[in-house]
Amino acid sequence: MAVGNSVVVGVDGSDTALEAVRWAAAEARLRRLRVDILYAWGITAAHYGDGIPLPANVFDVFEESARRVLAEAVEVARREAPDVRAEAENTGEPPIPMLVSRSRRARMIVLGSTGRGGFAGMLAGSTAVAVSTHAHCPVAVIRGARRDGPVVLGVDGSPAGEPAVALAFEEASQRNVPLVAVHAWSDFDLDSVYGSPRYTGDSRTFAEDERRLLAEVLAGWQEKYPDVSVERVVRKDRPRHELLKASGSAQLVVVGSRGRGGFRGLLLGSTSQALIHHADCPVLITRGAR
């Protein structure tokens, strides 16, 4: 897991981006970190047509908009967490490569689920998916209303999912809330487009194997975080269905970027993408070791 001294949040002046700032400031307070607030309008906005440069005053408009948006975001962060140091940065870099680069030295990247487009492509399905796919640190996509509730962890038992388990226990411990570990299984490999059968024997035996797998995944972490109360949920269902349902009463869902199914080159799994688009609470996605 990446180690850094700041939580980085991207803003564009939209209400959802400001909610991401509030969440990032609260997370930075929990972790005793700085919050870095970034506004990126993208160098691609500097030309139109066949490379014809834009009038010089257009850049003044971009800069003025950036100053206004950043000033509002810093004020929101300070109201949310007065004791957290908040810094603002305006950049003409394209947002996705800039955020991926910053993720090398950030503890976490935070993005709103939708935006007004000032932060070029700040919509779930573009910036959020791209950054979640390639970031070197966890990425939080802020969805739904803030609420009390447990931290929900999606468990699939794969090595790629181990960082998500560690992160979920850490978040539950810091927030002093229970952890709900959800392991959903099926006769089919549901992250694969074609769904090749995984098991054709007695489903009761398979269910017992899946409960054992979940227990093995959690065992060491429950010893490391004895303060975290853990509820285990094992269901025969599509993982995305169970996690989306659990998000309705959770304050945070934590998942790995992809599971034990799918294609080798598919960096962001179908479950993670479904949560980015449809969860009822913030989603925290972390990638496994490369």
262-287: pLDDT as tens digits? 433 334 578 888 899 899 999 999 97
Of the candidate ranges 46-55, 95-104, 206-215, the one whose mean pLDDT is the lowest: 46-55
Of the candidate ranges 81-95, 184-198, 253-267, the one whose mean pLDDT is the lowest: 184-198
CA atoms within 13 A on the CB side of 12: 21
Q: Enter the tokens of residue 237.
A: 């269902």
Strand partners, 255: 285
Q: Enter the tokens of residue 282.
A: 């913030």
Task: Give the tens place of pLDDT for each residue, 1-29.
Answer: 446 789 999 998 888 899 999 999 999 99
Euclidean distance between CA atoms 261 and 162, whole angstroms: 15
Nearest to 219 by CA among 266, 155, 151, 272: 155
Span 36-40, average pLDDT = 93
Q: Do domains 6-142 and 151-286 have the same CATH topology?
A: yes
Task: Give the tens place of pLDDT for each residue, 135-167.
Answer: 999 999 999 888 999 999 999 888 778 999 999
Q: Is the pLDDT of residue 132 over 70?
A: yes
**In this predicted model, which residue has the larger pLDDT, 181 or 55?**
181
**In this predicted model, which residue has the larger pLDDT, 285 or 197?**
285
Give the number of other CB atoms < 10 A from CB of residue 249.
Answer: 14
CATH number attached to the domain at 151-286: 3.40.50.12370
Euclidean distance between CA atoms 104 and 56, whole angstroms: 34
The conformational region for residue 262 under phi > 0 = left, psi -120 to 50 = alpha, else beta, is left
Instruction: Please state the CATH superfamily assignment of the domain spanning residues 6-142 in this structure.
Output: HUPs (3.40.50.620)
Domain ranges, ordered by start, for the chain: 6-142, 151-286
Looking at the chain, the number of H-run helices and the number of E-run strands are 8, 12
Determine the pLDDT at residue 156.
86
